Amino acid sequence: MSKIEVMDINLSNKIAAGEVIEKTMNVVKELVENSIDAEATSIKVELTDSGVKEIIITDDGTGMDKEDAVKAFSRHATSKLKSVDDLFNIDSLGFRGEALPSIASVSNLTLKTSNGEVGTVVEMSGGEMLSVSSCDLNRGTKITVRDLFFNTPVRLKYLKNLYVELANITEYVNKMALSYPNIKFVLTNNGKVLLNTEGKGNLLKVINNIYGVEVTKKMIKIGCSNDDYTVSGFISYPEVTKPNRNSLITFVNGRYIKNNELNKAIIESYHTYVPIDKYPIVVLSIEVDPILIDINVHPTKMDIKFSKMDTLKELINDTISRKLESLTLIPEVISNNKQEEFIEKRELLKPIIENYSINEEKDEYEKNNYNIIEETTLDFEELEKKSEKEIDYNIPRIKKIYPVGIALSTYIICENEDGIYIIDQHAAAERINYEKYFNAMKNHTNNIMDLLIPIKVELPTDEYILLKRNINIMTDMGFNIEEFGINTFVIRSHPAWLPNYAIEEAIRKIINIVIENESFDYGKFIEKVSITLACKMSIKANDYVSMDDIEILIDNLRNTKNPFTCPHGRPTIISYSKYELEKLFKRAIN
């Protein structure tokens, strides 16, 4: 019996508005989603010239009989949706049936499909059906799309954007592979393998296929739940970062979604662990009762609305923060050969580079492409176990280390039985002071110190007005501050935690921050004050530091909540393990 129904015209109009095939990426997306809907366990995507010349998608899904294969090319045929009501209860990924005629209308297309009985071949060109024949075929579907957009003016445009197209397709297929670790995905371009997953359900292995061994070693498993949500997945050590948010990957009930609120919650958890314009790699799968979510049915969007969003954000934030707080996060200098990796990457791109020498797009592609295929020698079970290990929160996260000297008037060299450590004296002092100021303000530890000589601050009228409006913030912090004549305030006492060697400078900095802040969020305010003061008030690079001061600095650093990064997210400490040193000096054979 035929599975494809011809859609009600009312419904098809609603869909048509959002259904535009204008990029090779759209074609890949529609066809891959058809394959997933057809319950494929293996999906192979083969591109020639980023798909502009040819896209071949092969799956082992349920396939179609002859009647369905032909009907699939009539506009508005769908195997899933019959009424407008169905549109709002979508549990499949795509709008099956609508995409195929659209793709066929702008290409030369061959459909080979079999439901396990008889195979059917349909040949299409520019939307016209050239032939329908029978053939021998295993169960599944193979769609070949050649000369995409050959009959439209957009074709030329895509010749210029090959790198961007390939980067987008790669990113999409990567996400589907992460979303469906049970499905085997293969992606090739001009014969080069860009992704090849196992399809056996191991998420960490898919991460390894996409990001490589070095990243995979730095992934940590997390899992948590509350009354409504269950979250599981992997997060990266803060030292592994990407220049954009593309690697914050979230799935809801197995479906890839992009949600700014969730991304914000993840980024917030890494606050001060990574620099402000860097992002970790996070792959999270969220399970929730569908009643609590509202999927935006627009086919090109992947957004979702959650009820009880706050509890979900809190759950994610708490879990990631706690995990990060349990780990020793000293980046280790490793003598791997970056040069080799680079050459390998160039090899991968060579066929494209030779055909089309367009440089900007190449850079864009390299920036986004993580698909270097590596030999895998990882013990995945061991890795997962290691990342699940709970750590005693009372033990300092940096082992006892002993200073041996200072290099370049900036870097403190230390050692212990495990290796050599290098501490950036400014970054370390900044972290210590940041936590000190932040905690004092957060806990309102308002020990007050009187000033021997009150400090007068005269301000321009506009700033005077702004400060006057928010004066309670200053008094809440423990300042005794009052108006004192025209455009002037006098400060008679201050909170005790202010650095006593630069009180006036610190007060002026705080006043500036009060003036600059339009809307007031106390948490953000004290954060900003702490970071600004910590940076200004800490020892700098090239400042002289005595060995006694160094001992104190190291002790204080070891006792901070996060000793590994300064409040700007830069490392405070790096290490060379004894083993790495032995390797570098050829004392050990790798």
Which residues sit at the interface with Zn ion, rule CB under 5 A? 430, 535, 566, 568
| Amino acid at residue number 339 | Q
Paired tokens of 120: 């059917």
Place of tokens 């990457």: 345
Sheet holding 255-257, edge to edge: 219-225, 229-236, 282-288, 248-252, 255-257
361/527 with CB nearer Zn ion: 527
124/329 with CB nearer Zn ion: 329
**34 contacts: CB under 8 Å, gap ≥ 6:** 94, 96, 99, 100, 141
87/539 with CB nearer Zn ion: 539
Which DSSP letter does residue 539 get? P
538/575 with CB nearer Zn ion: 538
CB of 570 to Zn ion, least distance (A): 5
33/430 with CB nearer Zn ion: 430
320/531 with CB nearer Zn ion: 531
34/565 with CB nearer Zn ion: 565
Contact criterion met (CB below 8 Å) for 36 and 53: no
CB of 259 to Zn ion, least distance (A): 30
Nearest to 348 by CA among 166, 509, 530: 166
Backbone angles phi, psi at 342, to 5 degrees: -65, -45
CB of 355 to Zn ion, least distance (A): 45
Q: At what angle do helices 260-269 and 309-325 cross, to 10 degrees?
A: 30
53/568 with CB nearer Zn ion: 568
CB of 290 to Zn ion, least distance (A): 44
**370 contacts: CB under 8 Å, gap ≥ 6:** 174, 210, 211, 212, 215
CB of 239 to Zn ion, least distance (A): 16
Paired tokens of 114: 């079999």
Q: Map 387-437 to HEC letters.
A: HHCCCCCCCCCCCCCEEEEEECCCEEEEEECCEEEEEEHHHHHHHHHHHHH
CB of 569 to Zn ion, least distance (A): 8
Sheet holding 448-458, edge to edge: 448-458, 488-495, 480-483
Calculate the CA dihedral of residues 223, 224, 225, 230 and round it to 10 degrees. -20
CB of 565 to Zn ion, least distance (A): 8
CB of 247 to Zn ion, least distance (A): 24
